[in-house]
């Protein structure tokens, strides 16, 4: 009788340990899935960032080569020259 009780007790302990093992393995699997999801998400974000950087580089290169930028630069230089002439005229007038 004592042996049966001991066997049943040990059997319960074994079953409890097996259940705990399954629970821990399930948690480990969940952690691994989450880690994989985070890794995939970070790879997607990295690709998005790289493509955005490439797009910005292309946009900048096309802007530098466009005639609009050259025209704006020429207009700005002309405005600077006109402002310089006006400053010289005012300096002469006030002296």
How many Å apart are CA 17 and CA 11, to the nearest integer?
10
Question: How much of the chain, in percent, has pLDDT values that exceed 90?
Answer: 66
pLDDT value of position 89: 87
Tokens of 4: 């049966």
pLDDT value of position 78: 95
Who wins on pLDDT, 94 or 79? 79
* Mean pLDDT value across residues 78-92: 90
Please check the confidence at residue 26 and state whether its pLDDT lies above 70: yes
Phi/psi at 60 (5° precision): -65, -45
Measured in whole angstroms, the distance separating CA 5 from the mean position of its chain's CA atoms is: 61
- Per-domain residue ranges for the chain? 2-70
Count CB neighbours of 6 within 10 A: 10
pLDDT value of position 95: 66
Question: How much of the chain, in percent, has pLDDT values that exceed 70?
Answer: 97
In this predicted model, what pLDDT tens digit does every residue of 34-80 receive, in sequence order? 999 999 999 999 999 999 999 988 887 777 677 777 888 899 999 99
CB 51 within 8 A of CB 59: no
User: Side-chain half-sphere of 57: how many Cα atoms within 13 Å?
Assistant: 6
């Amino acid at each position: 009788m004592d042996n049966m009780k001991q066997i049943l007790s040990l059997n319960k302990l074994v079953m409890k340990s097996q259940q705990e093992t399954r629970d821990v393995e399930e948690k480990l699997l969940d952690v691994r899935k989450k880690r994989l999801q985070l890794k995939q998400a970070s790879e997607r974000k990295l690709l998005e960032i790289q493509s955005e950087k490439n797009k910005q580089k292309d946009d900048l290169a096309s802007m530098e080569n466009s005639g609009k930028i050259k025209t704006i630069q020429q207009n700005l230089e002309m405005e600077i020259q006109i402002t310089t002439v006006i400053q010289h005229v005012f300096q002469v007038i006030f002296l």
